[in-house]
Amino acid sequence: MTRTGDTDLTAQSTSEAHAEAAVTAGVQGLLFEDDLKPMPDDVGFRGPTACAAAGITYRQLDYWARTGLVSPSVRPATGSGTQRLYGFRDVLLLKVIKRLLDAGISLQQIRSAIAHLSKRGIDDLTQITLMSDGASVYMCTSPDEVIDLLAGGQGVFGIALGGVWREVEGSLSELPTERLDAHGETGDDHANDELAARRRARMTG
């Protein structure tokens, strides 16, 4: 378990506290276990689409891109008339930032958390639960770490990135998607059809 200020945190607790915390974690949806598949790297979403999926304003999106918090990874703005394209991972991080802001976490703490998340591979993100006591943000990579935090009293709320992944995937399945060709140009794409198919598969079991 790592606090995003690079300080390791270990919580001591009794077995009864662990059991109670485990139940709490399960109820709150903090222990996310599912098989999630990433979108192709060349599939992108324009700014308005990214905003709609993440629940943020375009002003926030633009500011975070200019300050390097979350930059469009598929295609950055290279001049007048070019459209920034955000990847699925970018939109996921935007959604996480929105959640942390809504919880009252400072932008400084959020920048530290996002910097840590950005170093992780896309597969690792699905196994991370962010916990916060309102001041610091902790990255938990196992159910035991989530339970330790809850039992120790540090965790006020948590965000399972796998759960956020599902939400973003569902939102993007109903929004326009673009794919870059070999020359960096965009064209019609069926990536949103793939997202919609994944959503239908989950609904039908």
Is the pTM value of this prediction over 0.75? no
Residue 203: the pLDDT is 54
Residue 9: the pLDDT is 39
Residue 77 has pLDDT above 70, yes or no: yes
Cβ atoms 99, 131 nearer than 8 A: no
Nearest to 141 by CA among 165, 166, 116: 116
121-174 pLDDT, tens digit each: 766 787 888 888 777 888 888 878 877 777 776 666 788 888 898 899 889 988
| Tokens coding 3 | 């606090």
